[in-house]
Amino acid sequence: MPFCKLPHWNRKGELLTCTTKQNSELYHAVLGGLGQFGIITRARIALEKAPQRVRWIRVLYSNFTAFTQDQEYLISLHGQPATKKFDYVEGFVIVDEGLINNWRSSFFSPSNPVKISSLNADGGVLYCLEITKNYQESNANTIDEEVGALLKKLNFIPSSEFTTDLPYVDFLDRVHKAELKLRSKNLWDVPHPWLNLFVPKSRIGDFDEGVFKGILGDKTSGPILIYPMNKNKWDVKSSAVTPEEDIFYLVAFLRSALDNGDKTQTLNYLTSQNNQILRFCGDAGIKAKQYLPHYTTQQEWMDHFGDKWTLFSKRKLEFDPKHILATGQRIFRPFFNPSAPLL
């Protein structure tokens, strides 16, 4: 059973073992709690035997609806036998020619680059589905058949399939290798004005039209991830906040601000664009939730937590009544001075 040890500040900083059954209220408070209730000092995580190899596949879409329908179909296979599903599902958005052949897209041959303009991209945008199938050396002879059967049910652009096989450890290390590439070009130690949103499934098409095909233009300054999640996989007792729909999308703008003379890659420009995206969601009534948000008023925090605000406040009074933890987030006023600035 998972557990974590936490300083419990209203009990003189005691270290407590917390699980779903032992100190369960604190356990659930800390999960998604933005550091407001305790500090996890140790965690036990269940492990399983790792596969030896990975079939890593990317396919392209020009139609956003086909792209999202396929992603939602793939996550619906959770719980099926291993041979009937992929082990990893992620998507990303491509709005400029550079990104399709950059470090995120090492599948594509530099000598034969893929061009957005050649694929009839809707609104100048392409969508890439990234999927993997894990396997052992002992069953390598069946992997082609299993992958082929799954791919036949998807509606990607014909002939846009890019595949590679590699050791499982190398797949896990792919982001670190990308980091090393960027460091070698002095493109890593720069500001990263990232924006991560949970977008309800019912409005993801509107988000595509307004943001991917609208606000972004033809430059992104970094990868944009997009993939759906099942809400029933999230513990409703935790402090984490997600949209109130059975399926919602993680949309992550993982941009890097560069001082290279291009105004669309500066920190000010990208920060302003992030704010424009948030304003668009508000004006369009898209009830997106920020992951790791930053707000400056208590009303904004109350709107963020919604129905969970009452419980979140109650937990703060119980586990950190002196407001010692995470004051920089400015979520609460000190209990001893209601007129004081938010902490």
Instruction: List per-residue pLDDT tens for the chain, 343 residues long.
Output: 344 554 444 445 788 999 999 999 999 999 999 999 998 989 999 999 999 999 999 999 999 999 999 999 999 999 999 999 999 999 999 987 654 545 344 555 444 555 655 666 666 899 999 999 999 999 999 999 999 999 999 999 988 899 999 999 999 999 898 889 889 988 889 999 999 999 999 999 999 999 999 999 887 888 899 999 999 999 999 999 999 999 999 999 999 999 888 888 999 999 999 999 999 999 999 999 999 999 988 899 999 999 999 999 999 999 998 888 998 888 986 544 556 666 5
Query: Are 55 and 165 spatial neighbours (Cβ–Cβ below 8 Å)?
Result: yes
- For 99: left if phi > 0, alpha if psi spans -120 to 50, otherwise beta; the answer is alpha
Dist CA 104 CA 96 (whole Å): 13
Per-residue pLDDT tens over the stretch 140-199 = 999 999 999 999 999 999 888 999 999 999 999 998 988 898 899 888 899 999 999 999
Position 50: which residue type? A
Residue 107: the pLDDT is: 55
Can you tell me whether residue 335 is helix, strand or coil? Answer: coil
pLDDT, position 9? 45
User: Backbone phi, then psi, for 77, in 5-degree steps?
Assistant: -85, 0
Closest CA to 170 of 142, 141, 132, 139: 132
Rg (CA), the chain: 22
Give the chain's length: 343
Class of 195-290 per CATH? alpha beta
- Same CATH topology for 53-184 and 195-290: the answer is yes
- Predicted confidence at residue 118, as pLDDT, reads 62
Beta-sheet strands, E only, within the chain: 4-8, 14-18, 53-61, 88-94, 126-135, 162-167, 195-200, 224-230, 247-253, 289-290
Q: List, in sequence order, the alpha helices (H) in the chain.
A: 24-30, 64-75, 97-100, 143-151, 168-172, 174-184, 204-207, 267-284, 298-305, 309-319
CA 281 to chain centre: 18
- Supply 126's token pair: 């392409």
Domains of the chain, by residue range, sit at: 4-45+294-329, 53-184, 195-290
pLDDT in the model for residue 105: 47
Q: Cα-flanking dihedrals φ and ψ of residue 183, to 5°? A: -65, -40
Q: What global pTM score does this model have?
A: 0.89
- Distances 309 to 16, 207, 241, 332 between C-alpha atoms, Å: 25, 26, 10, 11
> Which pLDDT value is given to residue 159?
84
Contact 71, 130 (CB under 8 A): no
Q: Which fold has domain 53-184?
A: Vanillyl-alcohol Oxidase; Chain A, domain 3 (3.40.462)
Which tokens in the block code for residue 228?
Answer: 């759906």
CA distance 317 to 234: 25
Given this model, what pLDDT does residue 4 score?
53
